A and B are shown apart, each in its own frame.
Chain A
Amino acid sequence: GAGVSQSPRYKVAKRGQDVALRCDPISGHVSLFWYQQALGQGPEFLTYFQNEAQLDKSGLPSDRFFAERPEGSVSTLKIQRTQQEDSAVYLCASSDEGSGNTIYFGEGSWLTVV
């Protein structure tokens, strides 16, 4: 597609439920990022992939968060045993290492844990 695509756009989960958020980056983009954005705040880094390799997961808030990109394109962010504090927008972004500069964001997956 033309841009970064994320699904679902909106997710309501009961506390304790597992959720999976999908990101389809711009075709051919090597780098893929996940960010978490709380209401009224800037995005906070979660994790970074270069192709299928997860090079940085320092921003994942707990071991309940897991991300993968097995074939170097589509990525999934999984949150196990969701808690209310996990409620946020999860943004995926990708960039072409060849361009070097611009990082393109998807519209995000809005997660509400009740």
Chain B
Amino acid sequence: GQNIDQPTEMTATEGAIVQINCTYQTSGFNGLFWYQQHAGEAPTFLSYNVLDGLEEKGRFSSFLSRSKGYSYLLLKELQMKDSASYLCAVRDDDYKLSFGAGTTVTVRA
């Protein structure tokens, strides 16, 4: 089976940095995705890692270590609109994504 773990909740202050960790144990690995989901809305794609290392995209960065089964999503210069659920997902074969339960990030003024 697939096992994808991430913290349930995190709170941070506007302008700060937050790091959301994700650990996974899956039967196969063909990439790790991070999605952002605001309440009542569709998950929207943030980042994709398939090789070890850091991918930076504006205020968001994502890191992957395949040997450790570990990823993190780094959100810098937090804004109120970043309050959302962040979903870690692993593609374990050619097509299927398995998701973690999501991390709810609350940004306080």
Interface residues of A (CB under 8 A from B): 3-4, 31, 33, 35, 40-45, 48, 50, 55-56, 91, 101-108
> How many positions in chain B have a CB within 8 Å of any CB in the partner chain?
21
B97 x A4 contact (CB < 8 A):
no
Which single member of A31, A44, A102, A107 contacts B95 (CB below 8 Å)?
A31
Residue of A nearest to B41 (CB): A107
A42 x B89 contact (CB < 8 A):
yes
Which single member of A103, A107, A108 contacts B97 (CB below 8 Å)?
A103
| A38 CA / B16 CA spacing, docked (Å) | 31
CB-defined contacts of B87 to chain A, threshold 8 Å: 42-43
A56 x B43 contact (CB < 8 A):
no
Chain B 36-53 interface 0/1 with A at a Cβ cutoff of 8 Å (1 = within): 000011111100100000
B42 x A108 contact (CB < 8 A):
yes
| A103 CA / B96 CA spacing, docked (Å) | 10
Interface residues in B56-109 by Cβ distance below 8 A to A read 87, 89, 95-102
| A103 CA / B101 CA spacing, docked (Å) | 18
B99 x A48 contact (CB < 8 A):
no
> A101-B31, A102-B48, A103-B33 in contact; A43/B43 too (CB < 8 A)?
yes
A91 x B42 contact (CB < 8 A):
yes
